């Protein structure tokens, strides 16, 4: 019985996990696909580096062609990261008729359409379950489990680093910089955390989710992005006072054929299931016209959880190989891309203002909102230590983003308003 040969690009955290699972789960893999699976060659940058997994050094190579051009290798697993060089490697692998499994969200968000097209042309599989939420099978859930339904909304926590930071800030009252340092020490955050804390990592994942969930070619530039670096301890305290939890939320929603995709800090009603997703965990809430509401929850990163998703994709490739149907699973987008305008996006909004402490200020501010047909769900007014100033915190009823932007502009121009301190979207409760 001929073994299936695997070429591995990268032997870092996830790559080591892939080797461990393939070695320790041979009986499971044999049962699933009917033949042994072996790692035949591994591309690494440093041949002498200490590894987190015991591996025969004869399998290591620093030369890409030894993996990509080897006629005995059936499947390439890419867990090296990077974009441009990695894209060239995957294109070369597909053109050499090798199936590909990748965990690379950056690559798939930017070049997914091109790579999937190349895979189809060469009758190869290209699977990328691990690119979005680590060990959570969200992509397979969309493409297989919910394939008969029409997805209307996906809302989730898809970045473990920011969720860890916000959980610690909110529950322990600690400042951002201190918690970020802890996240870096624990390995949850990179030494340069920009991609995580500015929302770029989550945006790439939401572009992938929206493309699959809405069958529309959503690109990274289509995602509205805001990170967590400007969230203050006061914002978190007011969130709790008003019955909310602050999370970095990835949102993809569809009305008719028009879609909105965004990543931004949002206040979630404490009763919503996503509000209880803490620390480094991820979760994606999916709304379907037929199924209603479902939630996918689990570890969003880590060696073995992510490697589990990679090896599950490998099993899918090998089952297709046995059936002779490789390269037929990719489905071209069904709909042309159509993004919602700001007057088509509706939500509740939180706004925190510093104003002059004078009689009638709140009434005048209320009039500004009323001119745009926007009422209030919640109001707090508190004195500030600054003499002659007070703080007003408002949560609106459902309003269009266009109307809210116009209101913010008028408040900026209003002499009674000293400063708009912060604004956030509010999700997860009845949007009356």
Which residues are paired to 60 by β-bridges? 42
Of 167, 271, 300, which Cα lies nearest the Cα of 228? 167
Of 58, 70, 53, 78, which Cα lies nearest the Cα of 5? 70
How many CA atoms lie within 13 Å of 87's alpha carbon, on the beta-carbon side? 14
Q: What whole-number distance in Å separates Cα of residue 90 and Cα of residue 88? A: 6
Cβ–Cβ under 8 Å, residues 220 and 210? no
Long-range interactions of 86-90: CB distance < 8 A, separation 24+:
86/9, 87/111, 87/115, 89/9, 89/64, 90/115, 90/126
412 — phi, psi (to 5°)? -60, -35
Told to judge if 97 belongs to the known catalytic residues of this protein, a careful annotator would answer no
Residue of 205, 348, 364, 408 with catalytic role = 205
Residues 6+ apart with CB under 8 A from 382: 390, 391, 393
Which residues are paired to 7 by β-bridges? 41, 76
Greatest Cα pair distance, the chain, in angstroms, is 86
Cβ–Cβ under 8 Å, residues 37 and 101? no
360 — phi, psi (to 5°)? 90, 0
Q: What whole-number distance in Å separates Cα of residue 406 and Cα of residue 403? A: 5
Residues 6+ apart with CB under 8 A from 381: 362, 390, 391, 392, 393
Angular region, 384: left φ>0, alpha ψ -120 to 50, beta rest? beta
Residues 6+ apart with CB under 8 A from 260: 224, 251, 252, 253, 339, 340, 344, 345
Active-site annotation, residues: 205
């Amino acid at each position: 019985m001929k073994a299936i040969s695997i070429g591995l690009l990268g032997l870092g955290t996830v790559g080591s996990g892939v080797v461990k699972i393939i070695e320790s789960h041979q009986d499971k893999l044999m049962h699933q696909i009917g033949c042994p699976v072996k790692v035949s060659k591994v591309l690494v940058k440093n041949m002498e580096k200490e590894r987190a997994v015991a591996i025969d050094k004869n399998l290591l190579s620093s030369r890409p062609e030894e993996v990509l051009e080897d006629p005995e290798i059936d499947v390439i697993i890419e867990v090296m990261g990077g974009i441009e060089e990695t894209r060239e490697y995957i294109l070369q692998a597909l053109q050499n008729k090798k199936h590909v499994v990748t965990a690379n969200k950056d690559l798939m968000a930017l070049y997914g359409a091109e790579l999937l097209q190349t895979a189809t042309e060469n009758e190869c599989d290209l699977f990328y379950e691990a690119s979005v939420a680590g060990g959570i099978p969200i992509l397979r859930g969309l493409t297989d489990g919910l394939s008969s339904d029409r997805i209307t909304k996906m809302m989730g926590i898809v970045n473990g680093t920011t969720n860890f930071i916000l959980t610690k800030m909110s529950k322990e009252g600690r400042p951002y910089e201190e918690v970020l340092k802890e996240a870096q020490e624990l390995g949850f955050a990179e030494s340069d955390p920009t991609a995580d804390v500015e929302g770029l990592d989550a945006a790439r994942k939401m572009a992938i989710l929206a493309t699959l969930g809405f069958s529309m070619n959503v690109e990274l530039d289509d995602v509205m992005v805001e990170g967590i670096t400007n969230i203050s301890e006061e914002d978190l305290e007011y969130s709790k006072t008003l019955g909310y939890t602050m999370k970095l939320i990835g949102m993809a929603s569809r009305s008719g054929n028009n879609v909105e995709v965004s990543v931004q800090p949002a206040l979630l009603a404490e009763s919503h299931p996503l509000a209880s997703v803490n620390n480094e965990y991820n979760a994606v809430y999916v709304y379907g016209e037929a199924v209603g509401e479902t939630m996918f929850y689990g570890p969003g990163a880590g060696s073995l959880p992510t490697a589990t998703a990679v090896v599950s994709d490998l099993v899918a490739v090998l089952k297709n190989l046995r059936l002779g149907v490789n390269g037929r699973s990719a489905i071209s987008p069904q709909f042309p891309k159509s993004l919602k305008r700001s007057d088509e996006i509706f939500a509740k909004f939180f706004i925190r203002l510093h104003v002059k402490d004078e009689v009638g200020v709140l009434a005048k501010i209320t009039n500004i909102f009323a001119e745009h047909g926007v009422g209030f769900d919640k109001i707090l007014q508190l004195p500030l230590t600054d003499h002659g100033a007070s703080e007003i915190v408002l949560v609106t009823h459902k309003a269009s983003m266009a109307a809210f932007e116009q209101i913010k502009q008028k408040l900026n121009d209003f002499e009674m308003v000293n400063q708009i301190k912060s604004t956030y979207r509010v999700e997860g409760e009845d949007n009356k």
